A = this chain, B = another copy of it.
Amino acid sequence: MALFDLPRAELERYLPDVAEPADLDAFWARTLQEARTHDLALRVEPVDTGLRLVEVFDVSFAGFGGQPIKAWLTVPAHRSGPLPAVVEYNGYGGGRGLPQGHLAFAAAGYASLFMDTRGQGSQWGDGGGTPDLAGSGPAHPGFLTRGLERPEDHYYRRVFTDAVRAVEAVRALDLVDPARVAVAGASQGGLIALAVAGLVPDLVGVMADVPFGCHFARAVEITDTTPYAEVTKYLAVHRDRAEQTFRTLSYVDGVNLGRRATAPLLSSVALMDTICPPSTVYAAFKHYGTRAGTTPDKTLEVYEFNNHEGGGGHQLARQLPWLHQNMAAAAPVAEAIR
Interface residues of A (CB under 8 A from B): 1-3, 7, 49-54, 76, 78, 93, 95, 97-98, 100-101, 103-104, 106-109, 119-143, 145, 220-224, 229, 232-240, 242, 272, 303-307, 309, 311-314, 316-317, 320-321, 323-324
Which residues of the other chain, B, contact A306 by a CB distance below 8 angstroms?
Answer: 236, 239
Contact B232 A305 (CB under 8 A): yes
Contact A122 B140 (CB under 8 A): yes
Contact A119 B138 (CB under 8 A): yes
CB of A54 to closest CB in B, whole Å:
6
| Interchain CA distance A234-B305 in the complex, whole Å | 9
Contact B138 A107 (CB under 8 A): no
Which residues of the other chain, B, contact A234 by a CB distance below 8 angstroms?
Answer: 122
Q: Which 9 A-B pairs have the closest CB atoms?
A: A50-B320, A133-B135, A141-B141, A52-B109, A235-B305, A121-B138, A128-B138, A98-B313, A126-B313
| Interchain CA distance A313-B50 in the complex, whole Å | 13
CB of A1 to closest CB in B, whole Å:
5
Which residues of the other chain, B, contact A135 by a CB distance below 8 angstroms?
Answer: 119, 131-135
Q: Could you name 12 residue pairs across A and B whose Cβ atoms are closer than 8 Å?
A: A2-B223, A2-B232, A50-B108, A51-B104, A97-B312, A119-B135, A119-B137, A119-B138, A123-B141, A126-B312, A127-B238, A240-B314
| Interchain CA distance A138-B130 in the complex, whole Å | 6
Copies in the complex: 6
Q: Which residue of B lies closest to A96 (CB)?
A: B138
Contact B317 A49 (CB under 8 A): yes
Contact B232 A1 (CB under 8 A): yes
| Interchain CA distance A238-B81 in the complex, whole Å | 38
Which residues of the other chain, B, contact A50 by a CB distance below 8 angstroms?
Answer: 108, 317, 320-321, 323-324
Contact A51 B107 (CB under 8 A): yes
CB of A338 to closest CB in B, whole Å:
22
Which residues of the other chain, B, contact A140 by a CB distance below 8 angstroms?
Answer: 122-123
Q: Which residue of B lies closest to A234 (CB)?
A: B122
CB of A181 to closest CB in B, whole Å:
18
Contact partner, A131, options B125, B138, B240, Cβ 8 Å: B138
| Interchain CA distance A2-B3 in the complex, whole Å | 15
Of A2, A108, A121, most buried by chain B (CB within 10 Å of CB) is A2
Contact B221 A3 (CB under 8 A): yes
Contact A131 B122 (CB under 8 A): no
